[in-house]
């Protein structure tokens, strides 16, 4: 069983815009899948399906073996809470929480024990333990994204969804982030699916998928 299994997924938005056409995708544990393509090609929609944030109009999306369109709000919440981690282009840290609190939040939401200790461990993993008490606006872009990665991995998800994780960073910071994403797949065994424009990002992937007008144009290897 693959953490992410998509079969012939089609997504048509209200107003008739067809964002995806018969897309199929499988992501294995411990692998990084890069989705590349121009803006509007359907990358974000595909990521939304992978993160159980959206549902196909036709076809099937299975996350951790469960068909997402058949799940209720409670099951979807549980799925996101335990199986999926998200990394966004604009980091999306909660500005009111410190770095540590941002990382701890998913655990608190899940009611996990020893949340602060686990969160600090994850911050150490991204080498930012010394910034635990800092608020997001006190961090650089690269640091914010590292905190976001720590937050995404704090509950050891089987899936990591990353939307343009280096899109808002300089080259050096981008490289650090890409190394961390690679390590997430290697050390945590997460199935990483990443939308990107960057060739460097695509280079760390095990599988590269090129999309065009809502369908998969090519797949490597």
Partner 1 sequence: MKLFRRLILRPLRQDRTRTALSLVSIALGVAVVIAIELAGDAATGSFQSSLTSLVGKVDFEITANGGVDETYFAKLAALPIKARFSPVIEQPVVIPGHGSTTLYGIDVVAAATEYRQSDSGGGDLESMAVVSEDLASRLGLSKGSSIELRGQNRTRSFRIQSIADDKNTSWVGIDIAAAQQLLDHYGRLDRIEVFLGPHQDMDEARRAIRSAVPASWEVGTPGARSEENRRMLRAFRWNLRILSYISLLVGAFLIYNTIAVSVVRRRTEIGILRAIGVSSGGVLLIFLGEASMLGLVGSILGVALGRGLAAGLLGMISDTVNALFVTSAPGAIALPWTSVAAATLTGTFVAFLSALIPAREAAQVAPAEAMRRAVTEHRSRLRAGRNLSLALVCCFAAVLLCLAGPIDGRPVLGYVATLLAVAAAALIAPSFVTGLAFVLRGVLKRLFGAEGLVAGRSLVASLSRTSVVVTALATAIAMMISVGVMVGSFRETVQVWLNSQLQADIYMRAQAPATAGIYPPMSSQVPDIVARTPGVAYIDVLHALEIRYEGQHATLGGARTDVLRRHRTVRFLSGNADDIFRSLINRDRAIVTEPFADKHHVRVGDVLHLPLGGKAANLTVAGIYYDYSSDRGFILIDETTLLQYLPDQPITNVAAYLAPGADAVKVRHDLAARLADFPLLIAPNEVLRRGAVEVFDRTFTVTYALEAIAILVAMLGAANSLLALVLDRRREIGVIRCLGAAGGQVRRMILAEAGLLGLLAGLLGLALGMALSLVLIYVINKQSFGWTIQFHPPLLLLAGALLLVWAFTVVAGIYPARYAARLEPAETIHEE
Which residues are at the interface with partner 1 (CB under 8 A)? 44, 48, 51, 53-54, 73-74, 77-78, 80-82, 86, 88, 92, 94-97, 101, 105-106, 108-111, 136-137, 151, 155
Q: Give the shortest CB-175-to-partner 1 separation in angstroms.
A: 25
Taking the complex as a whole, the smallest distance from the CB of residue 44 to partner 1 amounts, in Å, to: 6
Cβ at position 164, least distance to partner 1 in Å: 11
Complex with partner 1: residue 100 or 178, whichever CB lies closer = 100
CB of 205 to partner 1, least distance (A): 22
Residue located via tokens 């490597």:
220
d(CA 78, CA 53): 12
Here the tokens at position 156 are 């050891």
Q: State the CB neighbour count (10 A cutoff) for residue 74.
A: 8
Distances (CA, A) of 9 to 5, 18, 49, 184: 10, 11, 9, 27
CA dist 89 → 6, 16, 26, 86 (Å)? 23, 27, 23, 10
């Amino acid at each position: 069983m693959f953490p992410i299994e998509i079969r012939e997924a089609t997504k048509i938005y209200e107003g008739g815009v067809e964002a995806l056409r018969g897309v199929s995708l499988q992501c294995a544990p411990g692998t990084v899948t890069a989705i590349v393509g121009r803006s509007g090609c359907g990358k974000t929609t595909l990521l939304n399906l992978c993160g159980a944030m959206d549902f196909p109009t036709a076809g099937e999306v299975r996350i951790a073996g469960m068909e997402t369109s058949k799940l209720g709000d409670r099951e979807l919440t549980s799925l996101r809470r335990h199986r999926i981690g998200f990394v966004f282009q604009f980091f999306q840290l909660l500005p009111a929480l410190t770095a540590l609190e941002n990382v701890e939040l998913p655990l608190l939401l899940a009611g996990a024990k020893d949340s602060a200790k686990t969160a600090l461990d994850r911050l150490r993993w991204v080498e930012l333990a010394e910034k635990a008490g800092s608020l997001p606006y006190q961090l650089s872009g690269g640091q914010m994204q590292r905190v976001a990665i720590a937050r995404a991995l704090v509950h050891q998800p089987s899936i990591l969804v990353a939307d343009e994780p280096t899109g808002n960073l300089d080259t050096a910071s981008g490289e650090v982030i890409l190394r961390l994403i690679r390590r997430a797949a290697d050390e945590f065994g997460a199935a990483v699916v990443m939308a990107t424009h960057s060739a460097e990002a695509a280079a760390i992937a095990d599988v590269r998928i090129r999309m065009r007008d809502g369908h998969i144009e090519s797949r490597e290897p």
